[in-house]
Amino acid sequence: MSPLFFFLWTLLTSVSAQLRSGFYVDNCPKAESVVREVLRRAMINDPRSAASVMRLQFHDCFVNGCDASLLLDDTATMLGEKLSLSNINSLRSYQVIDKAKKQVEKICPGIVSCADIIIMASRDAVVLSGGPNWEVKLGRKDSLTASQEDANNIMPSPRDNAIFLINLFDRYNLSVKDMVALSGSHSIGKGRCTSIMFRLYNQSGTGRPDPAIEPKFREKLDYLCPIGGDGNVTGDLDATPYKFDNQYFKDLVNGKGFLNSDQSLFSSDARTREYVEFFSRDEGMFFTAFIEGMLKMGDLQSGRPGEVRKDCRVANTRPMKHMEILYNFSN
Ligand code: HEM
Ligand SMILES: *[C@@H]1O[C@H](CO)[C@@H](O)[C@H](O)[C@H]1NC(C)=O
Ligand SMILES: *[C@@H]1O[C@H](CO)[C@@H](O)[C@H](O)[C@H]1NC(C)=O
Ligand SMILES: *[C@@H]1O[C@H](CO)[C@@H](O)[C@H](O)[C@H]1NC(C)=O
């Protein structure tokens, strides 16, 4: 091993760090309170930013682990994840994470990873929307690269049904219960007409609407999203889109789910329906299961080399081919 390679190698620690709560108590004790305050302020200007920030955890963690790969802007040699199929014109509030990072860098530069900021802010989004609070595990590193191709291949579509989603989440060791509880994140936020046009007018190529949609609710959605209308118009994911509660599950039981992937959890599979009914009746059980799911999802790691980025949009270290090779040797 050449000295230069060895030097580079020791600068980078593996993304597979041991995560624990209170990771920053000694070297950045204010990190969590600063992030929460940034989100609180963002929500005053844009109440939806809570939902948009929380969604970032899902889209980061499912694509090669919770490593803030999602946040990297495209470079001349790398297509990032921001413009992938599920993310383009859809993910938002990246600037809230930028703001939090800037504030945290001011008090303790080079300490707190962007990946951890996503995890903290997602928890805060739930708390500040009236949901439960919990202790997050921290100590993640930020990736050196991102993969648009992986994002395209991995992230689910609003057309997917319960069976597909059960199998997708199972690949991450997330159970049916975890998956249904995590879908309860759609208790807050909005979706675009383009995500539901097919189920309003041509479900599964039948030329007819999804029969699982309650008729009055369908009229409302048809009005919001007419054929040939603006696909960027948004509708609420549940009846209380700024409150983190179990209304989402009550809506599904009543045929008032916004996305096909939501309604399908009640209407197309007995295994998921059981949990939808359970959570619709017991908000406390939903909260408990949701926290468990968020912690499990937050544990996903890629095992690749990482760093603490200075700017969440740009890697400090230019990834090099030989570094990957070196990594494979040392593994
Ligand atoms: C189970 C599979 C899932 C599917 C198929 C799915 C799909 C979607 C879609 C299609 C949208 C609307 C996007 C648009 O129309 O622009 C959306 C929004 C959202 N998703 Fe998911 N999602 C899933 C799971 C999750 C999970 C696990 C989380 C977080 C824990 C999450 C959090 C959110 C939030 C908060 C919004 C609203 C965002 C906003 O208002 O900006 N989703 N999701
Ligand atoms: C799922 O669990 C199995 C068995 O414990 C483990 O080998 C595998 O790495 C886990 N997969 C993920 C994505 O965590
Ligand atoms: C509905 O979808 C099917 C299959 O994707 C397609 O062949 C058909 O043309 C569509 N019908 C309408 C009215 O868009
Ligand atoms: C939504 O708006 C974006 C940005 O203005 C545009 O590029 C895109 O084509 C629009 N999408 C739809 C479905 O209309």
Going along the chain from its start, the domains and CATH numbers come out as 17-155+301-330 (1.10.520.10), 162-294 (1.10.420.10)
pLDDT score for 318? 75
Separation between Cα atoms, residue 266 and residue 270, nearest integer Å? 8
Ligand having the closest approach to the CA of 49: 1
CA 72 to chain centre: 15
pLDDT score for 317? 83
> Are 67 and 142 within 8 A, CB to CB?
yes
Task: Give the sign of the dihedral formed by CA 63, CA 126, CA 142, CA 11.
Answer: negative
pLDDT score for 3? 46
pLDDT score for 319? 65
pLDDT score for 165? 98
Q: Is 235 annotated as a binding residue?
A: no
Q: How high is the mean pLDDT of the chain?
A: 94
What residues act catalytically? 59
Residue spans of the chain under pLDDT 50 = 1-7, 10, 325-326, 328-331
> Are 192 and 233 within 8 A, CB to CB?
yes
193 CA: nearest ligand 4 atom: 13
Q: Whose CA is nearest to atom 4 of ligand 4?
A: 89
Contacts of 215 (CB under 8 A, 6+ apart): none
Contacts of 34 (CB under 8 A, 6+ apart): 100, 103, 104, 107
> Are 179 and 165 within 8 A, CB to CB?
yes
300 CA: nearest ligand 2 atom: 14
Q: Is 160 annotated as a binding residue?
A: no
pLDDT score for 17? 74
